[in-house]
Structure 1
Amino acid sequence: MSSISDIIERYLKKILNESKNGIVEIKRSELAEIFQCVPSQINYVISTRFTVEKGYIVESKRGGGGFIRIQKVRYKNRHDIFEKMLANIGDATTQLTAEHVLAWLFEEELITEREALLMKRLISRETLQLPIPLRDPMRARMMRILITTLFSCKGE
């Protein structure tokens, strides 16, 4: 059974995919009313499931006429995607950020579900049993190698 967060995420992705320009503007309170939840639930979904690492830009304006604008990032070519992924990973990366990158690569059909699962297990805390000051840089190095290999093996 899907959680309310999953349902809200699917709804937002559906309307994003249906929009001609890849942008959707919503009012937090209206969306909360549609799904019979508190506005903070909408905030949670947007802040955790529509991140830069997952390929979204989110703008928020608070107040009476406030809105949330979600934009799906569109890249010109594979090289732009490659550069953005490496920038998101940086010199040290948390497990959550790395998982968001993998989720985005899967959603964009740049990797298979199996590849995503293998990469996710490889960069997990359970696999990288190191102190945090060593673990996050090691995870970033592994992600950069995985991304570089992925983009050098799958043609333009």
Structure 2
Amino acid sequence: MRNISDIIEKYLKSILHESPEGTIEIQRNDLADQFSCVPSQINYVISTRFTLEKGYLVESKRGGGGYVRIRRIELPGPTTLHTHLHHTIGDEMGQTAAEGLIYQLVESRFLSSREAALMRAAISREVLMVQLPYRDQIRARIMKAMLISLLG
């Protein structure tokens, strides 16, 4: 059985997918009641699985009448994707940012899960065993080369 974090993530993504604006607004306490968990569990899911690197913008207001607003950031269309990727990747790219971009490309269906797995393997710090900043520079070049080849 999957854990509660996976279930909450799947639920939030499903209602976000159904939203015509690509935005949802939730109450932490209401969602915690719905899933019989503590509000901090909701915070954990949102802060780890709905990050900017993964293509989400999260706004929140605490206190009475507080909310959490999650907005899906859509990637540009295929015609401007190369320019977007060039600017996003730049000359250096850390592993977390690279994995977040790969995740976003899979979610947007620009990459298959197999292509993503190959890319993650190629850009991991265990494979790129050189010192910083060279590792981040090599990772950026690999990311650009692979994405140009795959999305070309």
Equivalent residue, structure 1, for 2:40: 40
Of 115-124 and 103-112, the range deviating more from structure 2: 103-112
Q: Deviations over 1:81-137 (max 9, x none)?
A: 433333333332222221121122112221112111111100011111112322122
What is the aligned-residue RMSD (CA, Å)? 1.9
Q: 1:43 deviation in Å?
A: 1.9
Cα gap change, 1:38/1:76 in structure 2, threshold over 3 Å: closer, same or farther? same
Cα gap change, 1:33/1:132 in structure 2, threshold over 3 Å: closer, same or farther? farther
Q: Deviations over 1:21-68 (max 9, x none)?
A: 111001112212222222222222112211222222211122212111
Cα gap change, 1:84/1:31 in structure 2, threshold over 3 Å: closer, same or farther? farther
Equivalent residue, structure 1, for 2:108: 108
| Alpha-carbon separation, structure 2, partners of 1:90 and 1:43 | 31
Structure 2 unmatched ranges of 5 or more: none
Equivalent residue, structure 2, for 1:126: 126
2:98 is the counterpart of 1:98: yes
Q: Percent identity?
A: 51
On the 8 A contact 1:53/1:88 being kept in 2, the answer is no
- Map 1:53-68; keep pairs closer than 5 Å: 53-68=53-68
| Alpha-carbon separation, structure 2, partners of 1:14 and 1:83 | 30
Cα gap change, 1:51/1:82 in structure 2, threshold over 3 Å: closer, same or farther? farther
Cα gap change, 1:76/1:89 in structure 2, threshold over 3 Å: closer, same or farther? closer
In the alignment of these two chains, the number of paired residues is: 152
2:138 is the counterpart of 1:138: yes
- Give the SS at the match of 2:53: helix
| Alpha-carbon separation, structure 2, partners of 1:99 and 1:151 | 17
Structure 1 unmatched ranges of 5 or more: none
- Give the SS at the match of 1:51: coil
| Alpha-carbon separation, structure 2, partners of 1:76 and 1:99 | 19
Equivalent residue, structure 2, for 1:74: 74
> TM-score, normalised on structure 2?
0.87
> TM-score, normalised on structure 1?
0.85
| Alpha-carbon separation, structure 1, partners of 2:85 and 2:60 | 24
